[in-house]
Amino acid sequence: MAGTSTHTVTNQPPPLVGYDVFTADRALVEAVDRYTGPDVLDEVRGELSALGRAAGSAQLQEWAVQANDCPPRLRSHDRYGHRIDEVEFHPAWHRLLGKGVSAGLTGAWTRPSGHVRRAAGFLVWTQAEAGTCCPLSMTHAAVPALRADPELAAEWEPRLASTVYDRELRPAGQKPGALFGMGMTEKQGGSDVRANTTRARPLAESGTYALTGHKWFCSAPMSDAFLVLAQAPDGLTCFLVPRVLPDGGRNTFLIQRLKDKLGNRSNASAEVEFDGTWARRVGEEGRGVRTIIGMVTATRLDCALGSAGLMRQAVAQAVHHCTYREAFGGKLVDKPLMRNVLADLALESEAATALALRLAAAYDDGGEQERAFLRLAVPAAKYWITKRCAPVAVEAAECLGGNGYVEDSGLPRLVRESPLNSVWEGAGNVQALDVLRALQREPGALDACLTEIGRAHGADHRLDRAVKDLFTELADLDGIEGRARRLVERLALALQGSLLVRHAPPEVADAFCASRLGGDHGASFGTLPAGLDLESVVDRARPA
């Protein structure tokens, strides 16, 4: 019929845009309130809300699309044939990274409640664009390793903590701020860094070396400096490799190729070669792993935070969609089966946020008990939270139906990003084995974790039973390596359960304990048992 419109758009949710990513996340706001000093709480809330509004803005969401649609390119030579080894990014990448730096996401070590405020900001920023979180994380995490050499720390810490982003490659001493990368793994060893073959030859100037070798994965190769491992005369040692030398000359830093990755497309990861590359020793010769482990631990916490952020954004998108979308005579969010799915996803997201922020608070405390707690809890949390991210992202995309499989929805980018953090900084087996080492070598770490879990003793019978099961696992050391993942999973769930029982609303804690600890749950999301207040769980996760 003439005049009939065939393209009237109905029953499509509005875009999730123009909102405060921080204040819309009740679980995150409550965690920040819980762990932030009262004298700086208003300041921290204001900072995080400003970052949350930026992350939820249409402008930043468009920049994120541009940065991922136009991934970085390697420029190995200039037009005249000179080797330059530079990485070229879309302008949107620089805008996003600059915003992350200006928000203080590289500086936490000296600010009041610095780790909690930065952890919350990192979780928020991951939801805007996860690729920029790699250089932000490396730069933040380099500080504890650099402190093995007080002179180096005094020189570099102010640059790393700066809120000024300077993208130019020039001597770091001439820049208002600097970024750090990392080069540990090599093709013949992977996580077995003691198998590294890169060599370090001492130079005449004390503490300086010439490096020769190949790094299979170099994070953030456009950075101003890198922490790397190499074999010195007395064994594996940590070194600082500047990109540009103090006299303005380029250090030998040969980028062989950029990795073509599944996700994290906006960020550059590279293979690099050193050929007489100038480096400065950090810490003692032969103690490279001990020196760099502080950086590794901090980046592992960022992996957990990043996955918590990805899960939160996936859940926010799913709940938002189902709040507006109608099917079979009503809103999807009101359908009992969809409500079960959304609540199940929301539980996973909130548990991840609760545990990740608790670890950040332990960094702020800095006491002996909290350091012992981190030694065991960080690898356990990194293992479990990052493992849960991919299934959450995939299920959330399914909540949007076919729309969730279309790039415009943003869910495919989350799905591609979701496995990354379980691989970075040691895959699942590495984390599980690290937990076993902590149990064997540092009994105080287990005591600290059990003390934390025990703060909820008697509050929920399912949690108490899960703790007994954990003790059973710990008591049977025969073949413990083959059961390491099972042990770590139970430890992480007990920590999450204890935190939710103490701090989350009763309906959240009840649903978590019934499903994750009580065993009343199927093999997929949306199999929560009857009798739970799922409407309240979903409403709490609503991003508006």
Q: Output the pLDDT for position 4.
A: 67
Residue whose tokens read 């490396």: 138
DSSP 292: H
What would the two tokens of residue 132 be? 């920029």
Measured distance CA(331)–CA(350) in Å, rounded? 24
Task: Say whether pLDDT at 1 is over 60.
Answer: no
- H-run or E-run covering 350: helix 336-365
The confidence band for 187, taking pLDDT boundaries of 50, 70 and 90, is confident
In this predicted structure, the answer to whether residue 190 has a pLDDT above a threshold of 90 is no
Q: What are phi and psi of 6, to 5 degrees?
A: -105, 0
Q: 26-287 with 294-541: one CATH topology?
A: no
Whole-number Å distance between alpha carbons of 353 and 125: 14
pLDDT digits (tens, 9 = 90+) for 403-439: 999 999 999 999 999 999 999 999 999 999 999 999 9
pLDDT at residue 544 tops 80: no
* pLDDT (0 to 100) of residue 188: 83
Alpha-carbon separation of residue 373 from 154, 168, 220 (angstroms): 28, 40, 30
> What distance in Å separates the CA atoms of residue 208 and residue 242, rounded to the nearest whole number?
12
- Domain extents for the chain? 26-287, 294-541
Cβ 399 vs Cβ 337: under 8 Å: no
- Among residues 34, 37, 14, 36, the alpha carbon closest in space to that of 26 is found at 34
* Nearest-10 Cα torsion for 248, 213, 257, 83: 40
d(CA 113, CA 364): 6
pLDDT of residue 453: 98
Q: How would you write 208-224 as a 3-class SS string?
A: EEEEEEEEEEEECCCCC
Average the pLDDT over 178-183 and give the result: 96
Q: Quote the pTM value.
A: 0.97
Is 238 in contact with 193 (CB distance < 8 Å)? Answer: no
DSSP letter, residue 469: H
Fold for 294-541, please state it.
Butyryl-CoA Dehydrogenase, subunit A; domain 3 (1.20.140)
pLDDT at site 294: 93
| Other beta carbons within 10 Å of 406 | 13
Q: Look up residue 399 and give its two tokens.
A: 């909540």
Chain mean pLDDT for the chain: 96
For the stretch 11-54, pLDDT in tens is 999 999 999 999 999 999 999 999 999 999 999 999 999 999 99
Indicate the pLDDT class of residue 6, thresholds 50, 70 and 90.
Answer: confident
Sign, CA dihedral 337-338-342-345, equals positive
Over 80: is that where the pLDDT of 259 sits? yes
Whether 294 contacts 144, CB under 8 Å: yes
Sign of torsion, CA 97 98 101 104? negative
3-state SS of 113-166?
CHHHHHHHHHHHHHHHCCCCHHHHHHHHHHHHHHCCCHHHHHHHHHHHCCCCCC
As a whole number of angstroms, the distance between CA 267 and CA 89 comes to: 9
Q: What whole-number distance in Å separates Cα of residue 448 and Cα of residue 444? A: 6
Sequence-distant (≥ 6) Cβ neighbours of residue 418 within 8 angstroms: 263, 307, 310, 314, 389, 390, 392, 393, 394
What is the C-alpha to C-alpha distance for residues 411 and 318, in angstroms, rounded to an integer?
Answer: 9
CB-based contacts of 376: which residues, under 8 Å, 6+ apart? 435, 438, 439, 442, 445, 446, 448, 449, 491
Q: What is the pLDDT of residues 45-101, one digit of tens each?
A: 999 999 999 999 999 999 999 999 999 999 999 999 999 999 999 999 999 999 999
Judged by average pLDDT, the poorest of 287-296, 333-342, 475-484, 533-542 is: 475-484
CATH class label, 26-287: mainly beta
